[in-house]
Each structure stands twice: as structure tokens, then as C-alpha cells.
Structure 1
Amino acid sequence: MTDFTVPLIALTFLAAGIVKGVTGMGLPTLAMGVLGALLSPLAAASLLIVPSMVTNLWQLLAGPRIGALARRLWPMMAASMASTLIAAPLLAGENAGVTTAGLGATLIAYALYTLLAPPFRVSPVQERWLSPLVGLVTGLIAGGTGVFVIPAVPWLQALGLEKDELVQALGMSFTTSTIALALGLASRQVWQVDQLALSVLAVVPALIGMGAGQILRRAVSPATFRRWFLIMLALLGGEMLLRGMA
């Protein structure tokens, strides 16, 4: 690590917290994108674990219907956790170029889908058999890249949940994926003491950013903010994809 690493990590989680405070999501995605460009994706994922866990647990426990959502979404969550554990060796592997390219491609796919794809709805019949498949794919991508938004986020948005339920469901999905990713990395013995300490310290700027983002949300349009965030995320993903393929 250089003398600038710790301040850059703090600024990254501050910015990611602001994004989460304004839009209700995006902290793990932005943190992985920025830190994955500065460090290796594996190091970025290791730093992400604790702040992601804390902020997503906060989001999960603050909602009104945790029991009902758990009963409805458990097939997706169980499949996601299992496949994340299976795919975690990809992130912990030695081929950083492939991992970086995969992370970049995931960021581009998420940003472009969210910006351009029309909304859709899922029927109860479709939900029953597609939910485990969505969880399986989400976990495979999460285990290989450290990003757990595709296809989980579009899927949850298509279930017709109320606003508060959707925010809580996203917190549940991100929390279970973070737990599985942490277990997967720990099983590969790739966590280091300095990374764990920095991950704990990163909670502070992340929470400060979330508070600032919630204040900022009253002054700016969340939709406009989110649009520019996704555009920047796509550009960052493009740079990582090209660098990983070089």
C-alpha cells in the first residue's frame, strides 16, 4: 500500500455512502468499481465486507416486513448464498486480469440495463420457478466479481413490491450475498489482518456518506443523480474491461 491508499479508500466509501443515501443502493457496486480500479478486485472485495454488512443490515432491519419477505424470498437467497460460495475461488484466484475484466463487464451490464431497459413485472407462477435461478446466477457473478446486483436488483424491482418493501428486500439480498462472499473468501484464507482492520474503519466514512446522501436527497432529484451515477459506473466498467483484456 502507498501513503495515498488509506485516504483513497476513505474517500471511496464516503462517495459510495452518499450514493446509497441518495438512491437507497449502490454502495457495494461503486466501492467495488472504484477500489477494483485502484487495487485488485480481491483486495476490493475484502475491504467491502464490513461496511457493506453494516449498511445493508441497517437497511434490512429498518424495514417493516422482514419475516414476510424472508418467507417469500428464501429460495432466491439460499441459491445465491450457495452459488456465491461455489464461485468465490474465482475471485480469490491468481488471474487478476480475468477478474478485472469480469468486474468491468458486470458494471457495464448493470448500468446499461438500469438506464435503458423498460420495467417489467413477474407473475406469481414465474416467481416460484425463476427465483432460485435468479439467485443462482446472482451468486455466481457475486463470487467471481464481488458485485451482487445482477440479476438480483432488476428481479426484485419486477416483483411489484411496495417502496419500503423493495428497499428492505434489497437490503436482505445484499446482506445474504455479503455473508456468503465473506465466508467464501475466509474459506480460501485470503483475508489479511490489515485488510480486515481497514474494512472495519471504512464503516465510518460509509455511514457519514449515507447521512450526507440522505440530506442531499432533499436538494437534488434522486432520478437525475442516479442517472449520472450509472453513466459514470458504465465508463468505469469500460476502463476495467479494457484493462483486464489488455
Structure 2
Amino acid sequence: MTDLTIPLIAFTFLAAGIVKGVTGMGLPTLAMGVLGALLSPLAAASLLIVPSMVTNLWQLLAGPRIGVLARRLWSMMAASVVGTLVAAPLLTGGKSGATTALGATLIAYALYTLFAPPFRVPQASEGWLSPLIGLITGMIAGATGVFVIPAVPYLQALGLEKDDLVQALGMSFTTSTIALALGLASHQIWQIDQLGLPVLAVAPALIGMWAGQVLRRAVSPAAFRRWFLIMLALLGGEMLLRGVV
């Protein structure tokens, strides 16, 4: 690490916290995107675990219907853990393809969220679709450290109330973070005695979340989200080119 790396990491989690405070999501995606340009995807994922866990637990536990949502989404959560553990060797192996995969994932997420029309998943299809979505999300998370595709658009398509959707996203992100930590720990990449820098990243992430909640009242969340996704797509494009050139 250079002398500038730690300040850049702190600024990254501050910015990612602001995005999560405004939109309710985006901290791991933005953090992985920016840190992936500074560090290897594996190192970035290791730094992400603790601040992501703290902020996602806050989001999960703030809602009142955790039991109802857990009964509805348990198969998706279980499958996402399996997928993450199965795909974790792709990230822990330190292969250059992880950077390319991460860039492609960021582009896909940004473009889908920007342009895809809203759709609704029939409740009768949830029985087989939820574990499939969880498995795919886990596979992508295990390979890239990003766990938003296809979990976020799927949860948005379930017709949940606003507060339930925020809590369901928190549940999905928390589950994926735990699974990623287990996947990295199983390969001796992430260890409890190496938590100094990740723990320090919690403070800027929480400050950013608070600032984002304040900013939400002054700026249109739709406009903020649009420009965030555009910048995320550009960042993913840079990583994609870096991985293939």
C-alpha cells in the first residue's frame, strides 16, 4: 500500500456510505468498484466485509417484519450461501479474470437498473425462482465480491412494501456478506486477527450513511441514483478494459 491508499480507502467508504444513505443500497457495489481499481478484487472484498456487515445489519434490524420476510425468502438466502461458497475459489484464486468479471457485473447492474422496465414476479413462481435467483447471486458474489445481481431487481419485482423492500435488501446483503466472509476464511484469506483496517473503515461508512440520509432530503433520490449508476457503468468499463487489455 502507498501513503495515499488508506486515505483513499476511507474516502471510498465515506462515498459508498453516502450512496447507501440516499438510495438504501450501493455500498458494497461502489466500494468494490473503486477499491478494485486500487487493490486486487480479493483484497477489496476482504476490506468490504466488516463495514458492509455493520451497515447491512443496521438496515436489516431497523425494520419490523424480519420474521415474515425470513419465512418468505429463506430459500433464496440459503441458495445464495451455497452459490457464494461454491464460487469463492474464483476470487480467492487471485486470477486476473476476477477484475474482468467484476467490471462486467458492474456494467450489467448499472445498465439494467437504468434502462430495464419494471416487472412483477407472480407469487406462484417464487417457490422455484427464489432459490435460483439466490444461487446465481451467490455465484456472482463468490466470483466478484458484488452481490446485487440478480438479487436486487428480483426483490424489487416481488411487490414488497417500501419498508419491507429495504429490510429484504438488508437481509440479502447481510446473508451474502456472511457467506463471502466464510468463503474467504475457508481459504485463509480473511482472518479475525486481520480486522484492523476493515474495522477502521466502519466509521467513514457510518458517517457517510448519516450524511446520505441528510442529503436525501435535499436532493432527488432518482437523480442521485441515475448519476451514481452512470458513474458505476463507467467504472465497470474501465475495469473490464483493464482486465482484457
1:196 Cα offset (Å): 2.2
Counterparts in 2 of 1:194 and 1:34: CA distance versus 1, 3 Å = farther
1:64 Cα offset (Å): 1.2
Counterparts in 2 of 1:193 and 1:176: CA distance versus 1, 3 Å = closer
Matched, 1:135 2:130: no
TM normalised by structure 1 equals 0.98
User: Match for residue 115 of structure 2?
Assistant: 116
**Which portions of structure 1, spanning 4 or more consecutive aligned residues, are displaced by more than 2 angstroms?**
191-196
Q: Distance in 2 between matches of 1:167 and 1:193?
A: 29
AA aligned to 2:19 is: V
1:140-186 CA-to-partner distances (Å, cap 9, x unmatched) read: 00000000000000000000000000000000000000000000000
1:128 Cα offset (Å): 1.1
TM normalised by structure 2 equals 0.98
User: Match for residue 5 of structure 2?
Assistant: 5
- Give the 3-state SS of the residue equivalent to 1:212 in structure 2: helix
1:125 Cα offset (Å): 1.2
User: Match for residue 54 of structure 1?
Assistant: 54
Structure 1: where are the runs of 5+ without partners? Answer: none
Q: Distance in 1 between matches of 2:171 and 2:196?
A: 25
User: Match for residue 29 of structure 1?
Assistant: 29
User: Match for residue 89 of structure 1?
Assistant: 89
Counterparts in 2 of 1:176 and 1:192: CA distance versus 1, 3 Å = closer
Alignment size in residue pairs: 245
- Give the 3-state SS of the residue equivalent to 1:51 in structure 2: helix
Taking the TM superposition and a 5 Å limit, the aligned residue runs for 1:64-213 are 64-95=64-95, 97-191=96-190, 196-213=195-212
Instruction: Identify which range, 183-192 or 69-78, moves more after superposition.
Output: 183-192
> What is the root-mean-square deviation in Å for CA atoms of aligned residues?
1.0
1:194 Cα offset (Å): 8.1
Q: Distance in 1 between matches of 2:32 and 2:194?
A: 14
Asked whether the 8 Å contact 1:80–1:177 carries over to 2, the reply is yes
Asked whether the 8 Å contact 1:43–1:195 carries over to 2, the reply is no
